[in-house]
Amino acid sequence: MTDGIGVDIVEICRFKKIKYNLKPSFYKKLFKQNEIDYCLKFKNPYEHFAGKFALKESVKKSINEDIPFSPFRGVYDEGKISFLTQLLITAIKLTSPNFVVESEHIAAITKSLKLAFKSAQNQRGLEFLDGELVESSNDENVEISIDGFISELSGLTSLKEFEKLEDKIEEVLNKLKPFYGDGLYSKYFKSCKTSTANKDTRYFVYDLDSLDSDPVLQTLMTMSVMEEIRQTIKLPENKGRGGFVIIEELGMLGRTNSEASKFIIDAAETFRKLGVFLIGLTPRPQNYFEIEAGKAMWQVADNYIFMKMSPDNVEYLKSKSSLLDEANTQIIKSLDTVKDKYAEVFYVNKNKSKQGAFRFWLTPFKKWLAPTNMKDMEKVEDAFVKCGGDKWEVMKFLTKDIPSYFENLLGQEVKA
């Protein structure tokens, strides 16, 4: 299952025709400097420029299209109400930075959320039990909408405790206008077509990469994804299962995205008890010391893994952290990666009681389970067509050269 923002297909040749070294001004109009630096690190930077451009375009489309993800979905409990209250407060702060959110505003939002949930529950929460129509105790699939919340907020002054807060409630209604009705971000808060994630799904992808150009949507979507992860882990069927939460590119969470930072710190305290590992990845070590999410990840990590990087980056890490001494600095500088063959890895835990290096061999099975470039992705897509969509036949087709792979590998080892 994939939840998130869609990615368009962009012809890489469009970018290949405009070489960066000949026309850098073209790229500077489309990308931020850190994005340009990131793409230029690759042997074929133009497929990465094309991918990032597609993601940026998807943001523009996503605001005007149905987003297949709603922050309102999930099981309602005190944690869910607290999250939605904080989400709406954050939405106000992001679009009205000079507005001061007071306790009366917060109380009105929280009460309206609870009333909206109760109303939604009443509307669908009736069932026949032993021939009698009774209220259902199953809250699992109840989902409120932004319209339902706004309706309850608008009528909140009918309650005695809020009858003198008409001005405060009106302020909240005005500040939330970008998020309901015809507001710019109203689609984000709309109910999604699928109110709950498929329980049989074991693998979820949330694509936030394209949101870098919109800080408001980036922060709100980050908060929603983190809450979705919390809800998924708490499901009874997931108890004791364990798993991995992988943040593929910390830099894409934004330099000042405090919500991502809060999640990482909170997750580090709770995930260990649940047997869930939180993994943060980035090709740019500076992200661990310059952006909020990166700082949080470096702070709470128990184990650190390093792959091939430039000597300058190794020295940078050494200067910023006591984790690396002269000996393991030299080991990291010696690491190598050979495309489609192997990657050398150095690992060390926080107190440096365990450390070492190893060579990770890329077998055909591993390669095709997780393609890492557009060319290989095209081969996978072609294989799916040839094999009629049967995933096991696809894997057999893609890995048919495994015997020769191991023969070559053994030959290399013997020669060595």
Burial of residue 345 (CB within 10 Å: 0-12, 13-18, 19+) is middle
Contact 218, 254 (CB under 8 A): yes
In a domain, 47, yes or no: yes
E strand segments, 339-412: 342-349, 355-361
Q: Tell whether the model's pLDDT for residue 49 goes beyond 60.
A: yes
For range 112-135, the mean pLDDT: 66
Q: What is the pLDDT of residue 37?
A: 84
29 and 118 in one domain? no
Q: What is the pLDDT of residues 240-251, one digit of tens each?
A: 777 888 887 776
In a domain, 119, yes or no: yes
Residue, of 407 and 369, whose pLDDT is higher: 369
Query: What are the CA-CA distances from residue 320 to residues 203, 264, 268, 298 (Å)?
Result: 35, 20, 22, 11
10 and 59 in one domain? yes
Q: Tell whether the model's pLDDT for residue 314 goes beyond 60.
A: yes
240 and 262 in one domain? yes
Q: What is the pLDDT of residue 361?
A: 86
DSSP state of 66: -
Contact 313, 332 (CB under 8 A): no
Confidence of residue 3 (pLDDT cuts 50, 70, 90): very low
For range 131-158, the mean pLDDT: 72
Q: Please give the Cα distance from 319 to 186 (Å, whole number).
A: 46
239 and 151 in one domain? no
149: enclosing H helix or E strand: helix 146-154
Query: What are the CA-CA distances from residue 85 to residues 63, 107, 111, 112, 256 (Å)?
Result: 22, 9, 9, 10, 21
Q: Which domain holds residue 8?
A: 1-69
Angle at 155 between CA 149 and CA 161, to 5 degrees: 105
In a domain, 18, yes or no: yes
- Give the domain-ending residue among 272, 301, 330: 301
For range 9-20, the mean pLDDT: 67
Contact 93, 101 (CB under 8 A): yes
- Give the domain-ending residue among 250, 284, 301: 301
Residue with tokens 């893994």: 305
Q: What is the pLDDT of residue 274?
A: 75
In a domain, 165, yes or no: yes
The one-letter amino acid at 206: Y
403 and 370 in one domain? yes
For the ranges 65-79, 98-112, 210-224, the lowest mean pLDDT is seen at 65-79
Q: Please give the Cα distance from 91 to 178 (Å, whole number).
A: 9
Handedness of CA 365, 369, 371, 376 (dihedral sign): positive
308 and 380 in one domain? no
Q: What is the pLDDT of residue 232?
A: 79
Q: What is the pLDDT of residue 277?
A: 85
Q: What is the pLDDT of residue 152?
A: 92
Q: Tell whether the model's pLDDT for residue 98 goes beyond 60.
A: yes
DSSP state of 363: -
Q: What is the pLDDT of residue 7?
A: 33
The alpha-carbon radius of gyration of the chain (Å, integer) is: 25
Residue, of 154 and 43, whose pLDDT is higher: 154
Contact 292, 257 (CB under 8 A): yes
167 and 89 in one domain? yes
Q: Tell whether the model's pLDDT for residue 30 goes beyond 70.
A: yes
241 and 169 in one domain? no
Average pLDDT along the chain: 77
Among 91, 116, 248, 100, smallest CA distance to 179 is for 91
In a domain, 387, yes or no: yes
Q: What is the pLDDT of residue 13?
A: 63
87 and 186 in one domain? yes
281 and 313 in one domain? no
Q: What is the pTM of this model?
A: 0.61
Residues in the chain: 416
Confidence of residue 60 (pLDDT cuts 50, 70, 90): very low
For the ranges 88-92, 143-147, 352-356, the lowest mean pLDDT is seen at 143-147
Query: What are the CA-CA distances from residue 259 to residues 110, 176, 389 (Å)?
Result: 20, 19, 39
For range 255-269, the mean pLDDT: 72
* Overall domain count for the chain: 5
Q: What is the pLDDT of residue 377?
A: 76
Q: Tell whether the model's pLDDT for residue 286 goes beyond 80.
A: yes
Q: Tell whether the model's pLDDT for residue 154 goes beyond 60.
A: yes
In a domain, 325, yes or no: yes
Q: Tell whether the model's pLDDT for residue 263 goes beyond 90.
A: no
Residue 344 bridge partners (DSSP): 359
225 and 179 in one domain? no
Q: What is the pLDDT of residues 369-402, one digit of tens each?
A: 777 777 787 788 788 778 877 878 888 888 875 5
Neighbour count for residue 197 (Cβ, 10 Å): 17
Residue 277 bridge partners (DSSP): 244
For the ranges 51-60, 110-119, 136-145, 154-163, the lowest mean pLDDT is seen at 51-60
For range 33-44, the mean pLDDT: 81
Highest mean pLDDT among 229-233, 402-406, 407-411: 229-233
The one-letter amino acid at 105: H
306: enclosing H helix or E strand: strand 303-306
Contact 172, 109 (CB under 8 A): yes
For range 268-272, the mean pLDDT: 75
Among 249, 168, 238, 194, smallest CA distance to 72 is for 194
E strand segments, 232-288: 243-247, 276-280
Residue with tokens 């980056």: 313
In a domain, 200, yes or no: no
85 and 187 in one domain? yes
Q: Please give the Cα distance from 74 to 140 (Å, whole number).
A: 7
Residue, of 286 and 237, whose pLDDT is higher: 286
Highest mean pLDDT among 237-246, 280-289, 323-332: 323-332
In a domain, 4, yes or no: yes
DSSP state of 83: H
Residue, of 354 and 398, whose pLDDT is higher: 354
Residue 129 bridge partners (DSSP): 132
Share of the chain above pLDDT 90, in %: 26
